Amino acid sequence: MRFTKMHGAGNDYVYIDCFSQSVPDDLPGLARRISHRHFGVGGDGLILIRPSEVADARMQMFNADGSEAEMCGNGVRCVAKFVYDHGIARKETLRIETAAGILPIEVVVRDAIAVAARVDMGEPILQPPRIPTSLAAEKEMVVDEPLLIGEREFSVTCVSMGNPHCIIFVEEASDELVLGIGPQIERDERFPQRTNVEFVEVRSPTEVVQRTWERGSGETWACGTGASAVCVAGVLSGRTERTIVNHLLGGDLELTWDAQTNHVWMTGPAEEVFTGEWPDRGQG
């Protein structure tokens, strides 16, 4: 089975072109095996680039633990790059189908190669039952709500960008918080579908630093839906403006929450690292 390793701002996935080859069996098991950092190719998960009846291509993604996810902003930029570079749809404005809906993507082309992309991430979902979370279920939004984890209380803002996010603004996004508290919040019963967790330092009203504990994958170097959710959370909580630069471990993303359309736009890099053949030998 042929694969391509790609990343967007360090958020790396293994990609399978299902236009030129059949869809593999046991996708959750394959995701666990191929994503392993020591015994596999290594990555934050597995993404299939599949034909679509309603768009230029369909993205299907699995986290490193084999769980299927709705969407990934960094992943969908790489899907758009692959679709453009490999001639599946040689258009500078593409439509990619995801489990969170169809996303328009504008690719940035240099020397006939897509090097970055601007993605319409859609409208944020703010109603607690739709995120979903049981926090502040009686309110219209979860903004700076108290969340008790063990003996520590955090002020959290919850946003869905097609997948759930719990954003916590902190003075320092430390290992203690990201690696210690992140997994506890991910599986907290108040998030019935689990949640991604973002720990965010605000440098100025237009600049933040983000670290992410990603549902099903652990800490990742970038999270596009998370960065989009942070943009929204910053505005809702009065900490940031509608356009920000978000510094992640793997690079920078530019975000804008448009006041007129209510859509979040994200611009960032997409890079192909290498290709190879996967000798799939067993079950996960």
Q: pLDDT, tens digit, for every residue of 149-176?
A: 999 999 999 999 999 999 999 999 999 9
Which pLDDT tens digit goes with each residue over 93-106? 999 999 999 999 99
- Catalytic choice (72, 78, 158, 231): 72
Question: Quick check: 280 pLDDT over 90?
Answer: no
Q: How far apart are CA 233 and CA 227, in angstroms?
A: 10
Question: Quick check: 282 pLDDT over 90?
Answer: no
Q: How far apart are CA 84 and CA 75, in angstroms?
A: 14
* Residue 284 pLDDT class (50, 70, 90 cuts): very low
Q: Determine phi and psi for 175, rounding to 5 degrees.
A: -60, -35
What is the rounded average pLDDT for all residues in the chain?
96
Which pLDDT tens digit goes with each residue over 133-146? 999 999 999 999 99
- Domain formed by 128-267, architecture: Roll (3.10)
- Domain formed by 2-119+269-275, architecture: Roll (3.10)
Domain with CATH 3.10.310.10 in the chain: 2-119+269-275, 128-267
Per-residue confidence (pLDDT) for residue 196, from 0 to 100: 98
Which pLDDT tens digit goes with each residue over 56-84? 999 999 999 999 999 999 999 999 999 99
Share of the chain above pLDDT 70, in %: 98
Q: How far apart are CA 80 and CA 118, in angstroms?
A: 10
Which pLDDT tens digit goes with each residue over 181-223? 999 999 999 999 999 999 999 999 999 999 999 999 999 999 9
Q: Which residue has the tokens 């929204």?
A: 232
Q: Is 223 a catalytic residue?
A: yes
Q: How far apart are CA 134 and CA 189, in angstroms?
A: 9
Query: For residue 177, how many C-alpha atoms fall within 13 Å in the half-sphere facing its CB?
Result: 19
Share of the chain above pLDDT 90, in %: 98
Per-residue confidence (pLDDT) for residue 281, from 0 to 100: 56
Q: Is 18 a catalytic residue?
A: no
How many CB atoms sit inside 10 A of residue 237's CB? 15
Mean pLDDT across the stretch 44-57? 98
Question: Quick check: 232 pLDDT over 90?
Answer: yes
- Gyration radius (Cα) of the chain, Å: 18
Of 175 and 284, the one with more pLDDT:
175
- Catalytic choice (78, 158, 166, 223): 223
Residue ranges in 101-188 assigned as alpha helix (H): 175, 182-186
Mean pLDDT across the stretch 257-271? 97
Q: How far apart are CA 100 and CA 227, in angstroms?
A: 16
Neighbouring residues of 252: CB distance < 8 A, sequence distance ≥ 6:
9, 245, 246, 268
Q: How far apart are CA 125 and CA 123, in angstroms?
A: 6
Return the closest-CA partner of residue 105 out of 262, 254, 266.
266
